[in-house]
């Protein structure tokens, strides 16, 4: 018996098989027109009534289908031949999965050839071919449907202890407040005023991830690719950014060789025009990188969120900034979940936030929907006094990984010449137990709100 006929028989008689494969089978997988007609009748019945059909019901539905006489007689003959066949269900599932994979690849190649030949019926261009083939190669019967709280307890406990589940920082306090690093499938946002150091922060973290042996994708919609690479060069090569153009080429080559020997990771920087790219373009980029370079990122940086485009909401009449920015944030978080990575981005403060040394969520520019969507959000705060000391203050605004009241504010050192952040001595963290840095109305209110939440923070551990 041909595999197709065995599949039909078990779609009718084998409930376990039918439930497992119904969502994966497609009419285009059946090349023979008769087989395709029979499957379409079975598929339509299941989708409409939610149960396995009887052969008699299929015969009646088949008579209503628009088939020529030969195709109708052939389909009836197939239905008459459907008998309950006793086969191992797992074996049949494996065979059916292989059948779907082979047909998906076959169809993907044929469609790619039509695109290359300029078939008028195809609406896509050559740039879509990698995506078509990647989708075909990705056909799989995923047997995991949700997390069973009781049955999956052991893997869950392993997850709690796994370093792979988080991307660690090279800054001690960030590791402490996040419980060891940034979890995957999350959206993390830095907020700061103009020229405070948001891009510097993102570039430093990207450089640190590369040295950890991770694959890093840095998407920039603000700076040119070369400018992002220049900042990361200053960080990794230990050369002031203003002197990169004067360093001899052979010295730079030696430094790059040393970095290559230290890491197995890759860093890809991709530039898009401001406000012209969003999750749709990023997903296409990820598919191309996987197909053409075998590159799958461990972490993604998007610089920065507010100047991305939304694939669902088009800016124009009737669309406000709250709706647009919230949609972008939701789409980026969805991308992080889809590709199992932490995604970092940045946002601006409002005008009031730019002049304040103690910003809060109400100072997020354009949309309060952004902090509502983000998993982790921190503000980076500068100022004349901090600049003189070569420091930035970090304030937690939202933290789904731990208690945001623990070490709510802390200091990190910054070497702007080398685009680098570093841990400071414990004495610099006195700001933790001191008053709010400014005496603005919000600062006083924030200090009052925090009285019940703050706990003593020890740099030997959280107590």
Angle between the 55-64 and 69-80 helix axes, to the nearest 10 degrees? 170
Annotate 396-425 with b (16+ C-beta within 10 A) or e (fewer).
Answer: bbbbebbebebbbbbbbbbbeebbbbebbe
Contact 333, 189 (CB under 8 A): no
Q: What is the pLDDT of residues 271-292, one digit of tens each?
A: 999 988 999 899 999 988 988 8
The DSSP code for 312 is S
Q: Does 154 fall in a domain?
A: no
pLDDT at 99: 92
pLDDT at 461: 47
Q: Give the domain-ending residue among 137, 172, 201.
A: 137
Does one domain contain both 110 and 227?
Answer: no
Does one domain contain both 174 and 133?
Answer: no
pLDDT at 200: 95
Q: Give the domain-ending residue among 118, 137, 156.
A: 137
Does one domain contain both 26 and 133?
Answer: yes
Q: What is the pLDDT of residues 203-240, one digit of tens each?
A: 999 999 999 999 999 999 999 999 999 999 999 999 99
Q: Give percent of the chain with pLDDT exceeding 70.
A: 86
Q: Does 147 fall in a domain?
A: no
Distance of CA 391 to the CA centre of its chain: 31
- CA–CA distance, 59 with 43 (Å, rounded to integer): 14
Does one domain contain both 306 and 243?
Answer: yes
Mean pLDDT of the chain: 84
Does one domain contain both 201 and 349?
Answer: yes
Domain that holds residue 83: 3-137
Q: Does 146 fall in a domain?
A: no
Does one domain contain both 133 and 177?
Answer: no
Does one domain contain both 337 and 211?
Answer: yes
Q: Dig out the tokens for 147 from the structure.
A: 């997390």
pLDDT at 455: 44
Contact 333, 182 (CB under 8 A): no
DSSP structure string for 183-216: ESSEEEEEEE-TTSSHHHHHHHHHHHHHHTT--E
Q: What is the pLDDT of residues 8-49, one digit of tens each?
A: 888 888 888 888 888 889 999 999 889 999 999 998 998 888
- CA–CA distance, 241 with 227 (Å, rounded to integer): 10
Contact 167, 299 (CB under 8 A): yes
Examine the pLDDT at 187 and tell me if it is beyond 90: yes
Does one domain contain both 354 and 450?
Answer: yes
Closest CA to 341 of 280, 300, 305: 300
Q: Does 43 fall in a domain?
A: yes
- CA–CA distance, 169 with 344 (Å, rounded to integer): 13
Q: Does 298 fall in a domain?
A: yes
Q: Does 111 fall in a domain?
A: yes
pLDDT at 435: 39
Q: Give the domain-ending residue among 93, 118, 137.
A: 137
Q: Does 385 fall in a domain?
A: yes
CATH number of the CATH domain containing 68:
1.10.860.10
Does one domain contain both 77 and 207?
Answer: no
Examine the pLDDT at 459 and tell me if it is beyond 50: no
Examine the pLDDT at 266 and tell me if it is beyond 70: yes
Q: What is the mean pLDDT of residues 346-353?
A: 77
- pLDDT band at residue 440 under the 50/70/90 scheme: very low
- CA–CA distance, 2 with 310 (Å, rounded to integer): 47
Q: What is the pLDDT of residues 379-438, one digit of tens each?
A: 998 888 888 899 999 999 999 988 877 788 899 999 999 999 999 988 777 654 443 444
Does one domain contain both 110 and 204?
Answer: no
Examine the pLDDT at 442 and tell me if it is beyond 70: no
pLDDT at 236: 94
Q: Dig out the tokens for 389 from the structure.
A: 């000391």
Q: Per the structure, how many domains does the chain have?
A: 2
Q: What is the mean pLDDT of residues 47-59?
A: 86
CATH number of the CATH domain containing 262:
3.40.50.300
Does one domain contain both 213 and 119?
Answer: no
Examine the pLDDT at 339 and tell me if it is beyond 90: yes
Does one domain contain both 291 and 328?
Answer: yes
pLDDT at 315: 67
pLDDT at 145: 61
Closest CA to 190 of 412, 418, 395: 395
Q: What is the mean pLDDT of residues 157-180?
A: 82
pLDDT at 160: 67
Q: Does 145 fall in a domain?
A: no
Q: Dig out the tokens for 174 from the structure.
A: 């960030």
Q: What is the mean pLDDT of residues 344-368?
A: 72
pLDDT at 47: 86
CA angle 256, 258, 262 (to 5 degrees): 115
Closest CA to 7 of 106, 108, 138, 100: 100
pLDDT at 81: 85
Start-to-end CA span in the chain (Å) = 69
Distance of CA 219 to the CA centre of its chain: 12
Count the neighbouring beta carbons within 10 Å of the beta carbon of residue 239. Answer: 18
For the CA atoms of the chain, what is the radius of gyration? Answer: 28
């Amino acid at each position: 018996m041909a595999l197709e006929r065995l599949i039909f028989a078990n779609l009718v008689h084998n409930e376990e098989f039918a439930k497992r494969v119904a969502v994966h089978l497609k009419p285009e997988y059946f090349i023979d027109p008769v087989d395709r007609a029979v499957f379409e009748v079975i598929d339509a019945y299941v989708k409409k009534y939610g149960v396995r059909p009887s052969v008699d019901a299929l015969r009646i539905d088949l008579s209503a289908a628009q088939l020529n006489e030969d195709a109708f007689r052939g389909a009836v003959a197939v239905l008459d031949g459907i008998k309950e066949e006793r086969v191992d269900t797992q074996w049949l599932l494996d065979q059916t999965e292989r059948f779907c994979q082979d047909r998906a690849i076959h169809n993907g190649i044929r469609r790619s050839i039509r695109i290359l030949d300029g078939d008028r019926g195809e609406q896509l261009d050559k740039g879509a071919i990698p995506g078509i083939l990647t989708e075909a190669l990705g056909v799989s019967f995923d047997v995991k449907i949700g997390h069973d709280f009781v049955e999956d307890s052991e893997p869950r406990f392993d997850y709690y202890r796994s370093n792979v589940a988080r991307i660690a920082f090279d800054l001690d306090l960030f590791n402490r407040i996040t419980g060891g690093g940034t979890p995957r499938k999350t959206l993390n946002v830095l907020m700061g005023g103009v020229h405070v150091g948001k891009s510097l922060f993102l570039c430093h973290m990207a450089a640190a991830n590369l040295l950890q042996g991770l694959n890093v994708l840095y998407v920039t919609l603000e700076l040119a690719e070369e400018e992002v690479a220049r900042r990361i060069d200053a960080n990794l090569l230990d050369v002031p950014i203003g002197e990169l153009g004067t360093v001899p080429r052979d010295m730079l080559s030696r430094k790059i060789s040393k970095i290559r020997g230290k890491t197995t990771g890759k860093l890809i920087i991709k530039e898009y025009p401001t406000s012209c790219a969003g999750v749709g373009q990023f997903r296409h980029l990820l598919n191309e990188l996987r197909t053409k370079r075998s590159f799958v990122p461990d972490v993604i940086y998007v610089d920065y969120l507010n100047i991305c485009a939304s694939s669902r909401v088009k800016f124009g009449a009737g669309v406000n900034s709250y709706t647009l920015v919230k949609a972008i944030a939701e789409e980026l978080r969805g991308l992080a979940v889809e590709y199992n990575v932490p995604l970092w981005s940045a946002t601006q403060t409002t005008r009031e936030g730019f002049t304040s040394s103690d910003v809060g969520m109400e100072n997020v520019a354009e949309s309060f929907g952004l902090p509502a969507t983000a998993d982790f959000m921190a503000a980076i705060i500068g100022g004349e006094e901090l600049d003189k000391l070569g420091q930035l203050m970090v304030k937690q605004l939202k933290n789904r990984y731990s208690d945001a009241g623990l070490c709510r504010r802390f200091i990190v050192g910054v070497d702007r010449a080398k685009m680098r952040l570093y841990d400071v001595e414990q004495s610099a963290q006195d700001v933790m137990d001191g008053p709010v840095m400014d005496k603005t109305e919000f600062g006083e209110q924030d200090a009052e709100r925090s009285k019940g939440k703050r706990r003593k923070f020890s740099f030997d551990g959280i107590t």
